[in-house]
Amino acid sequence: MTSTLFRFRTLLSLVISLAASREIFAQEDGEWSEYEAAVETEAARPQYQVGDVLTRSEKGAPFRRRIMREDVTIRSRSLQLDSGKKVRLVYGVPKKAKNVPAVFVLDVETNVLSNATALRSFGSTKKQQRDFMEASYLLRSPFGSNMLGNGFAVAYIVADDLDTLRSARTPDWIGIFDRVRDLKSVDGNNVFLFSTREYANLSVYLTSRYNFSGFILEEPGYLLFSDKTHENVIGRSEKLTSQEIWERTDPTREFVYETVFSRINTPIMLIRNPDSTGYTFSEKTLISKLNQTGSYYETIEVRGVGRDLTVFGGGKDSGVIDVSPKVSYYVPTVSRWVSEIITYMRVNSSVDPVALRDPSNMRDW
């Protein structure tokens, strides 16, 4: 009994402490050990299946990549914004890696996981608990765990609330990107930006002000650079021309699209879903302006249910999330999405990532 307790306390004092709960736990078995954590929520399987999504996705990236503790280094550092508020830059890199490509993540899930409530494990301090929660995106997210597991350095910022993140201005973001680019283990010429649709406005604008190696964006289902979704127009977009859509939404945004996209030199990859309600709307606003400005982009179409956000207290007519949402996933769709992201980053990187060992190949589950 004494020996078991000693091993348990020793484990908690390693690089980051793992919170032991029914969803978050670590185990050590001889020379084998890994981080083990469940995702926030897995969406229920829909009643329909589109094409061969299930077959193709299950052959791609796993929904969540297991990470072995001895293969990664995870760090966090506090940064002060010009507003005076503080955020924390969190990053994970393959251990002893040199000159690996990096990806900076703009995703509400990073902050949702870092502030999620969890049972404190016996013997862990508040700092150890906080360190683990900050790193949760790297261990629990299908995106973070797979990108890190495939050898990319993964970085993001977290704060106590979304208002703090929103207080960051362009010089703050550029300074944060430069810090990631200057990490000793990162090749500064190979830094990508990955953004989910909740940060589409911000990420598109920042890409026009900063030179990334690549920009991956989940297709926004609303009008960029506007505080309204214009759901009534989105629902009728198939019957409207591009010009009619602009006239019925916010005509001044059309010029903003042209101005911002004309400044982007970064290759863009859009993750698109033909089954989404905003697909045609995006075709006649976002895609048409990318073509008009001569932007270099490619699109990957992933059909079926993917990510689902449940916003508590957020307004339905706004493209801005007011509070931290609950994030859920449809596993097969997201697995294929992750595979496409990793393939894109490998193709557009001039250096090879350092892929980590996969515990799935080392131990029969």
Taking only the tens of pLDDT, the chain with its 365 residues reads 545 444 444 444 433 333 333 232 222 222 334 444 333 333 444 433 333 333 333 345 567 888 888 899 999 999 999 999 999 999 999 998 889 999 999 988 888 888 876 545 556 777 778 888 888 899 888 899 999 999 999 999 999 888 888 899 999 999 999 999 999 999 999 999 999 888 999 999 999 999 999 999 998 888 998 877 788 899 899 999 999 999 999 899 999 999 999 999 999 999 998 888 889 999 999 999 999 999 999 998 888 766 765 544 444 444 444 445 567 777 878 888 899 999 999 999 999 998 888 776 655 43
Backbone CA torsion sign across 311, 81, 222, 275? negative
pLDDT of residue 18: 34
Domain that holds residue 63: 2-213+302-361
In a domain, 264, yes or no: no
Classify residue 274: in a domain, yes or no: no
Q: Report yes or no on 9 lying in a domain.
A: yes
Q: Could you tell me where the beta strands, DSSP code E, fall in the chain? A: 24-29, 32-37, 72-80, 86-94, 100-106, 153-158, 186-195, 214-218, 268-272, 297-301, 307-310, 326-329
Is residue 37 assigned to a domain? yes
Interatomic CA distance for residues 266 and 208, integer angstroms: 8
For residue 291, being part of any structural domain is answered with no
* Helices and strands in the chain, H and E counts: 15, 12
Give the predicted TM-score (pTM) of the model. 0.80
DSSP bridge pairs for 157: 89
The span from the CA of 183 to the CA of 186, in Å, is 5
Q: For residues 361 and 365, what is the distance between their CA atoms, to the nearest angstrom?
A: 10
128 in any annotated domain: yes
Q: In this structure, is residue 74 part of a structural domain? A: yes
Q: Is residue 241 part of a domain?
A: no
Total domains, the chain: 1
